[in-house]
Amino acid sequence: MKLLFINGVNLNMTGIRERGVYGTQSLDQINAEIKAHFKGDECEFFQSNIEGEICTKIQTADCDGIILNAGAFTHYSYAIRDAISSVKIPVIEVHMSNVHAREEFRHQSVISAVCKGVIAGFGKNSYILAGESFKL
Ligand code: DQA
């Protein structure tokens, strides 16, 4: 199975920013653990702080499932929402933190409705749970 893990804006700062919320590991370290977990599968990792690059990555994806942590783009990016709607590949929305237990603006997602499902609040394991769901 081919899985594409996309991380959006500020996720490159994981391990540096708000460590109490997002943990102390870097995104590269988390991705290495994900890769080890899915050792029988093909995993691709992509991160960008640029909204349009994430849209292009979704539009050109060649995989069985996309695991997307869009970061703050989740809460307002109609462009990413439309990119998800443009492709047949299922997308799962992921958050490391429980966005519903945080500030009000994080309770809204403009992408949830066009995603296959949403997983939030399990730290780095949110990515693994989302990837595993494609195998059910
Ligand atoms: C996040 C939650 C978002 O609200 C926030 O803007 C992020 C990370 C998470 O993984 O918990 O950058 O998507």
Query: Residues with Cβ < 8 Å from 92, sequence gap 6 or more?
Result: 65, 66, 67, 68, 115, 116, 117, 118, 119, 130, 133, 134
CA-to-CA separations, 49 to 13, 26, 31, 90, 92, in angstroms, rounded: 10, 16, 17, 22, 19
**What pLDDT score was predicted for residue 27?**
98
Homologous superfamily of domain range 2-133: Dehydroquinase, class II (3.40.50.9100)
Domain residue limits, the chain: 2-133
Mutation choice for ligand 1 from 17, 54, 75, 96, CB with most ligand atoms inside 8 A: 96
Q: Which atom of ligand 1 is nearest to the CA of 21?
A: 11
pLDDT 10s digit of each residue in the chain, 136 long?
999 999 999 999 999 999 999 999 999 999 999 999 999 999 999 999 999 999 999 999 999 999 999 999 999 999 999 999 999 999 999 999 999 999 999 999 999 999 999 999 999 999 999 999 999 9
Q: Catalytic residue at 95?
A: yes
Q: Is 107 part of the annotated catalytic residue set?
A: no
